[in-house]
């Protein structure tokens, strides 16, 4: 029976991890998110309890027990784009707060997501600390860097580190190693995700824009995505979208650019969400485009989460089936 295993989600954002687990057959019980605008989007798409506020102020004892605890915790301390402060950064303490939740809830599975640079941060010591703290609590620990283009059938070059831990008391299997999904062939293209009809004029670059001539000269292939980099236009010839980032919402020309029958323009928020694997029935609320761009860039690629969640579901089912067999004997 699907939906019998429960999930609690920390740092839920707009629900990319939640939606992936829901589609894999899990039952979402609660989520927590700090960003007010992200909470608006989240509530537009989910009915379960969303606790809006700072995770640091959440009382772990008040939360409902769940089988799976997920956390796409803040990546700034571990990102090459940040200051490389790691655990010295106040935000790095979020990992230790997650440990409080693990100790209190004791979930069967812990699911963590972060930028790929976490693996190499501080010469690998940051990941060693995370692994050590998880294993100290009698959990397994397996991690892998997965790219959306290889594991989500979405033309988006986005690498993320996934860390998955199972309670050894639940597994009752000393040699267990989590099996990450196999790579799959990419069958979707940029053209499959682009809106073909004319969109609002505000997304197009007109002659009044100072970079108009540069864009007109360079942005010519409907199968490719482009980026404006101050004085030049960069073409992504791989047929993939470059990694979408949260700073798309900060204005300027950070949003990738495409050309269509109606001229060249920036991607719309809906297209950015599509490039993160969100279905079109995922509702985008009437908030500013800058907020939606930021949310899409901050999110996870939902189909990658779904595939990982499906593998987790199989493991739990297998363990529970074994236990039932033992009980009968």
Among 39, 75, 241, 272, which one carries the catalytic annotation? Answer: 75
Over residues 156-175, the mean pLDDT reads 93
Model confidence pLDDT, tens digit, residues 184-226: 999 999 999 999 999 999 999 988 888 888 888 999 898 899 9
Q: Where are the domains of the chain?
A: 6-186+300-328, 190-297
pTM of the predicted model as reported, rounded to 2 decimal places: 0.92
Over residues 134-141, the mean pLDDT reads 96
CATH number of 6-186+300-328: 3.40.50.150
Asked if CATH classification 3.90.120.10 holds for the domain at 190-297, the reply, yes or no, is: yes
Tell me what pLDDT residue 86 has: 57
Pairing between β-strand 68-71 and β-strand 159-166 as defined by DSSP bridges = unpaired
Token pair, residue 235, equals 């073409």
Is 296:281 a contact under the CB 8 Å cutoff? no
Model confidence pLDDT, tens digit, residues 275-292: 999 999 999 999 999 999
Q: Where does the chain have alpha helices with state H?
A: 16-23, 36-43, 94-105, 125-136, 148-151, 168-171, 190-193, 212-218, 269-275, 289-298, 302-328
Q: Write down the residue that tokens 């998110």 correspond to.
A: 33
**Dist. CA 275–CA 248, nearest whole Å:** 14
Model confidence pLDDT, tens digit, residues 38-76: 999 999 999 999 999 999 999 988 999 999 999 998 765
Token pair, residue 162, equals 């996934």
User: With 70 as the cut, is the pLDDT of residue 328 above it?
Assistant: no
Question: Using alpha carbons only, how large is the chain's radius of gyration in Å?
Answer: 21
Those residues whose C-beta lies under 8 Å from the C-beta of residue 227, and which sit 6 or more positions away, are 233, 234, 236, 242, 253, 256, 257
Tell me if residue 39 is catalytic: no
Q: Is 257 exposed, middle or buried (0-12, 13-18, 19+ CB in 10 A)?
A: buried
**Dist. CA 155–CA 285, nearest whole Å:** 25
């Amino acid at each position: 029976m699907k939906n019998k295993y429960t999930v609690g989600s920390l740092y839920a954002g707009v629900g990319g991890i939640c939606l992936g687990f829901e589609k894999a057959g899990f039952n979402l019980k609660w989520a927590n998110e700090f960003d007010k605008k992200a909470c608006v989007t989240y509530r537009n798409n989910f009915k379960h309890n969303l606790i809006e506020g700072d995770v640091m102020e959440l009382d772990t004892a008040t939360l409902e027990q769940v089988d799976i605890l997920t956390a796409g915790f803040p990546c700034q301390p571990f990102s090459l784009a940040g200051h490389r402060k790691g655990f010295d950064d106040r935000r790095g303490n979020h990992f230790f707060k997650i440990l409080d939740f693990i100790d209190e809830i004791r979930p069967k599975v812990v699911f963590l997501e972060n930028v790929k640079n976490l693996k190499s941060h501080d010469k690998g010591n940051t990941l060693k600390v995370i692994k050590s703290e998880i294993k100290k609590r009698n959990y397994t620990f397996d991690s892998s860097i997965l790219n959306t283009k290889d594991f989500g059938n979405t033309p988006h070059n986005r690498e993320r580190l996934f860390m998955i831990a199972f309670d050894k008391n639940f597994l009752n299997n000393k040699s267990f190693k989590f099996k990450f999904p196999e790579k799959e062939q990419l069958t979707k293209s940029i053209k499959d995700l682009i809106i073909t009809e004319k969109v609002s004029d505000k997304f197009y670059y007109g002659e009044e824009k100072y970079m108009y001539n540069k864009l007109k000269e360079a942005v010519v292939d409907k199968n490719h995505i482009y980026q404006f980099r101050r004085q030049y236009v960069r073409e992504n010839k791989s047929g993939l979208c470059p990694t979408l980032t949260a700073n798309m919402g900060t204005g300027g020309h950070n949003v990738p650019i495409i050309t269509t029958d109606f001229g060249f323009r920036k991607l719309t928020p809906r297209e950015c969400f599509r490039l993160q694997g969100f279905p079109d029935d995922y509702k985008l609320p009437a908030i500013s485009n800058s907020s939606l761009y930021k949310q899409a860039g901050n999110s996870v690629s939902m189909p990658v989460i779904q595939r990982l969640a499906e593998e987790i579901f199989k493991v739990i089912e297998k363990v529970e089936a074994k236990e039932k067999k033992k009980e009968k004997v």
